[in-house]
Structure 1
Amino acid sequence: MWETAPAVAETPEIKLFGKWSTDDVQINDISLQDYIAVKEKYAKYLPHSGGRYAAKRFRKAQCPIVERLTNSMMMHGRNNGKKLMTVRIVKHAFEIIHLLTGENPLQVLVNAIINSGPREDSTRIGRAGTVRRQAVDVSPLRRVNQAIWLLCTGAREAAFRNIKTIAECLADELINAAKGSSNSYAIKKKDELERVAKSNR
């Protein structure tokens, strides 16, 4: 008489590149939880959404974190707009991270961002010739922005005039930063910024 509707199939879990799950990723820094977009709502198959994240202030905090890394890899004029190239670089880097550490590369990326965002910085105060620096706290969004920038810059500088591919360099940079090792360019820069800020409190 009445036909029962077929049971709705479970929506498959969205995995980045069809491989990496976002469910078990932990963000261990409570201040950055709202600014590192990696969980349920932000899970994507590819870090290429074409969203208008720059249209409004703070909207870029809603951009999936892997996509922000991908966009940040397109630096220097000759690489502008080559997003498919950077998606490929990030994909390869994640494979390398998984081979080297055996962990979920998304977790390594999140840890690297938490570790390489400076918590204290210094700003210039003064007018008409006399300039002194004053230590200031860094907002969570800027910490994430600066961490991504430092990680990408470190990878780019390491790959320049080097046999290593940029994917290998990015993987090394992320692994070292996630460990908090000072072999990472981002960690070195963060420590330097915090040291300068500390001396100008």
Structure 2
Amino acid sequence: VEVSHDNFMTFVDWMLSDEFQIKEHANFLGQPPYSFDLSNMYWLPALLNGGTIKALPHEVVENFGQMFTALPNLDLEVFVGTPSFADMLMLSPAFNQQKMPSLKTFLFCGEELTVKTAKGLHQRFPDAKIFNTYGPTETTVAVSGIEITPEIIKNNDRLPVGYAKPGVKLSIWNGNQ
């Protein structure tokens, strides 16, 4: 899918806005492969904000023992990934705030973020902020987002996908209307 410069810049400006509170020079988890548009959520903000991408080789991701050992040593500050990858990481007791104290931001896209996953992350990382975003590839990764707070988890069976990013108008159509 061809993406315009304006779409990239709108996306990056949104990601680096106060909404997500990503600090300069942050360490980003680089797990989603570059062929997956979700990778734009870590490499663009990291490169344009002086950050570092901590990439996990495919063979490490496929070996849970290696992955669970490697992650706490990466000094991650921003997690970018799918909810199913977070679910997999929560199989490890070491995936928590005590072992990974720098990890303060979770950015999700690409799949539905469930109440169960968000609740588990809030229990393991009580000081972290969890963001749910939504958008098809054609929109440059995501067009909406929201911080998932404990109150939102408590009051919803399914989590919202958030509010439109600046410069985007969302509408719901029924057929051709």
What's the TM-score bracket when you normalise by the shorter of the two chains? under 0.3
Decide which structure has greater helix share. Answer: 1
The TM-score, its normalising length taken from structure 2, stands at 0.27
Decide which structure has greater strand share. Answer: 2
* Greater Rg over alpha carbons, structure: 1
